């Protein structure tokens, strides 16, 4: 327990909370975007591997949001993760128009979502299972969403080598909400490639989308489908798809590195996991440590509600009512196999 610690430092203009568990796992959490900047895992050979992509400075994070396809490295995404068709939704018989930052649609909270906000570090626990809690209060009508929304996100690094991300939110008016975490994982290290890593997704259906990647409201059976990952197989070279979670609070997805014999399981209480590999932002900005990222540098497991859920009555409700509490929990569990 002597090695367990939590401390706040400043790294290139970003306030950073550094958590270390008793096994030597270490994470850096930045106040900008409440972002996970690094996740370092000690290997049996004594080396350490950083398994998430990121940047070295707040200026580069900010610059990345000016790209045609921002990467959202390690960020908390909100108020609504995923796309909302034409940036429109109706709540309590009133229509709301959001900023169309993805062609004609709204994506990941609009023009300036939670990923670009300065969060406040409000609590740190340096004891067993070290943790940090960050808070952001979104004013009513920010990005045209109704209600003042108070959000807290807690990152915990457990002694079981779990990265636990918990989200709590409450609102002053009925609103919609869908928060997620947007790390790109690479179990070979952030300077490598995921092409030889094995992906498993415990799902029977995926959310059908149109050519703009907007849900149609229908689902596709994964039997005999190229994206059936119920049995592990190599990561796809490109994917931007929401999978229906079969059982919450069970292993819904996993990633395995034959190189490091390292496995990551994803467990969530959310109805979907949006899996993403690809993007056209790479080759423009250098990553941390001068890494030259490319479209196979990492894979995202965005645990969340379905995209465009406010516009589909057959999807799980995305409405958070005044007086109610939003709670989302996702665990990324690491083990050597």
Alpha-carbon distance 287 to 301, whole Å?
A: 20
Q: Looking at residue 145, which CATH number applies to its domain?
A: 2.70.98.10
Active site residue 302: yes
pLDDT tens digits along 250-297? 999 999 999 999 999 999 999 999 999 997 778 888 999 999 999 999
The active-site residue out of 182, 190, 274, 328 is: 182
**Model pLDDT, residue 12:** 63
Give the burial string for 119-142 (b: 16+ CB within 10 Å, else e): bebeebeeeebbbbbbbbebeeeb
pLDDT digits (tens, 9 = 90+) for 129-150: 999 999 999 999 999 999 999 9
Catalytic residue among 143, 162, 198, 302: 302
Average of per-residue pLDDT across 86-115: 97
Average pLDDT over every residue of 298-327: 98
**pLDDT mean over 228-233:** 98
Q: Structural domain tally of the chain?
A: 1
- Torsion angle of the four alpha carbons 58, 59, 64, 67, in this order, in degrees rounded to the nearest 10: 160
Active site residue 112: no
Domain that includes residue 235, residue range: 5-336
The answer to whether the beta carbons of residues 87 and 109 sit under 8 Å apart is no
**pLDDT score at 187:** 98
For 174-215, the pLDDT digits (tens) are 999 999 999 999 999 999 999 999 999 999 999 999 999 999
Q: Is 161 left (phi over 0), alpha (psi -120 to 50) or beta?
A: left
Determine the pLDDT at residue 281. 75
C-alpha 251/C-alpha 267 separation (Å) is 5
């Amino acid at each position: 327990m002597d090695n367990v610690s939590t401390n706040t430092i400043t790294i290139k203009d970003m306030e950073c909370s550094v958590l270390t568990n008793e096994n030597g796992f270490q994470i850096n959490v930045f106040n900008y975007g409440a972002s996970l900047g690094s996740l370092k895992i000690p290997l049996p050979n004594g080396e350490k591997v950083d398994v998430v992509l990121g940047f070295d400075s707040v200026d580069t994070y900010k610059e990345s949001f000016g790209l045609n396809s921002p990467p959202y490295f390690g960020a908390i995404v909100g108020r609504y993760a995923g796309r909302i068709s034409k940036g429109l939704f109706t709540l309590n018989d009133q229509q709301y128009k959001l900023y169309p930052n993805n062609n004609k649609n709204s994506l990941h909270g609009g023009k300036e979502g939670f990923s670009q906000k300065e969060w406040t570090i409000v609590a740190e626990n340096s004891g067993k299972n070290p943790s940090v809690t960050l808070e952001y209060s979104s004013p009513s009508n920010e990005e045209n969403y109704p209600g003042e929304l108070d959000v807290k996100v807690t990152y915990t690094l457990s002694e079981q080598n779990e990265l636990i991300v918990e989200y709590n939110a409450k609102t002053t008016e009925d609103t919609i909400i869908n928060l997620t975490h947007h790390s790109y994982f690479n179990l070979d290290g952030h300077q490598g490639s995921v092409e030889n890593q094995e992906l498993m997704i415990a799902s029977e259906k995926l959310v059908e989308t149109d050519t703009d990647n907007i849900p149609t409201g229908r689902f596709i059976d994964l039997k005999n489908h190229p994206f059936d990952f119920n049995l592990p197989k190599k990561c796809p070279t490109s994917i931007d798809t929401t999978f229906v979670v079969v059982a919450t609070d069970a292993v819904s997805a996993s990633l395995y590195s034959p190189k490091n014999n390292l496995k990551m399981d994803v467990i969530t209480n959310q109805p979907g996991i949006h899996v993403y590999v690809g993007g056209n932002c790479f080759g423009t900005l250098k990553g941390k440590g001068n890494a030259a990222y490319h479209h196979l540098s990492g894979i995202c497991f965005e645990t969340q509600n379905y995209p465009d859920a406010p516009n589909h009555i057959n999807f799980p409700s995305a409405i958070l009512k005044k007086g109610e509490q939003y709670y989302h929990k996702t665990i990324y569990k690491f083990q050597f196999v």
